[in-house]
Amino acid sequence: MAQDSRQNPLKFLITGATGFVSGCVAADASKNGHAVVKISRPWDDLTQQIAHEKPDVVFHGAGSASVAESVKNPEQDRECSVGTWKRLLTAVQASGCKPLVVFPSSAAVYGNPAKLPVCETSVLNPISPYGRHKVECEELAGQYRVEHGLPVVVFRLFSLFGSGQKRLLVRELFEQAVSEQSTVSLQGTGHETRDYLSAEDFGRAIVHFAERFCSQQIGLSDPWVFNLASGVETSVRELAELITADCGSNKPVVCLNRARPGDPTRWVADMCAFKQACPDWSPRPFCESLRETLQAWEAESTAA
């Protein structure tokens, strides 16, 4: 009989602890009784910290997080992304520990997929420095798995949103909806699509995977690259209309038809691999999670 994945508390060591992505994982791990060690600036003594803490799971949340910034300064993006990831892998290997190491990659590695939904075996064709650097990080993950036997797992994130966000599209559209401006503007055509996943569902997915892996319900030789999204395609115009309606606004949505460098046209994930690894996990309905996020932001605005 398989061991209950929540039977034994785990220790999570999380880098980039002040960031949005890391915060999602830390919150769910703590909620489920696991110990969490947060590291914001770990690079000077990370090997010693890992050896001292002996974590079961290392989640690497430090790194770059902006396609637009990667276009402006690709070298800096590469250092923040590939450089920090390589230093973490080196530190884990030097520590003598072999925790589960989780890397949050991005659907940006796919670029504009030839076929949707896009699966993990699809051709990688990034169209931004950000995406190219995530591909490099994934290659490093594979290298350390093969050469050092580290249990490294990659999750390709699509479009996360949640109340802890202070930027990106969902937040930007909310701010437009509640502002004094007369319209809500979209940079593109409005027909672009994304695959949205709430912060809570994301954190729950990562922690649940870690629990199953550490209880040996998922093996080291199993697939190690996973899409992580809802598997539902939503157009940018539809998103804007949902947000304005939930905010009680009747502002028209205006499309400026200005493509941004590095932005793909359509995304939706094939989620079969992750659902096979974690059959008990499923995301909540998008409209429900979106409404909760908007309500949290509205409460913040009122309090301010």
**pLDDT at 125 exceeding the cut of 90:** yes
Q: Phi and psi of 253, rounded to 5°?
A: -95, 125
pLDDT of residue 2: 37
- pTM of the prediction? 0.94
pLDDT band, residue 3 (cuts 50/70/90)? very low
Alpha-carbon dihedral angle through residues 293, 104, 137, 11, given to the nearest 10 degrees: 140
- 251-287 pLDDT per residue, tens: 999 999 988 888 899 999 999 999 999 999 999 999 9
Q: Going edge to edge, which strands form the sheet with 100-106?
A: 35-39, 11-15, 57-60, 100-106, 152-157, 225-228
What percent of the chain is modeled with pLDDT above 90?
Answer: 86
Work out the pLDDT band at 68, boundaries 50, 70, 90: confident
Residue 9 pLDDT more than 50? yes
**Residue 40's pLDDT band (cuts 50, 70, 90):** confident
Please identify which residue in the block is written with the tokens 């709430």.
198
Average pLDDT in the chain:
93
Residues 6+ apart with CB under 8 A from 76: 69
Q: Within 10 Å of residue 216's Cβ, how many Cβ atoms?
A: 11
Mean pLDDT value of segment 199-226: 95
What is the per-residue pLDDT for 96?
Answer: 96
Determine phi and psi for 212, rounding to 5 degrees: -70, -40
Q: Which domains does the chain have, with CATH numbers?
A: 11-164+197-230+268-285 (3.40.50.720)
In terms of C-beta density within 10 A (0-12 exposed, 13-18 middle, 19 or more buried), how is residue 149 classed? Answer: exposed
Does residue 1 have a pLDDT over 50? Answer: no
What's the pLDDT score for residue 42? Answer: 65
* C-alpha pair distances (Å), 294 with each of 88, 179, 245: 35, 14, 11
pLDDT in tens, 131-180: 999 999 999 999 999 999 999 999 999 999 999 998 899 999 999 999 99
- Going by pLDDT thresholds of 50, 70 and 90, the confidence category of residue 220 is confident
CB 269 within 8 A of CB 117: yes
Using one digit for the tens of pLDDT, what is the confidence trace for 95-118? 999 999 999 999 999 999 999 999
Q: How do residues 227-256 score in pLDDT, each as one tens digit?
A: 999 999 999 999 999 999 999 999 999 999
**Given this model, what pLDDT does residue 5 score?**
44
Q: Cβ atoms within 10 A of the Cβ of 163, count?
A: 17
Contacts of 206 (CB under 8 A, 6+ apart): 24, 25, 28, 59, 102, 155, 228
> Among positive and negative, which fits the CA dihedral 293, 39, 228, 217?
negative
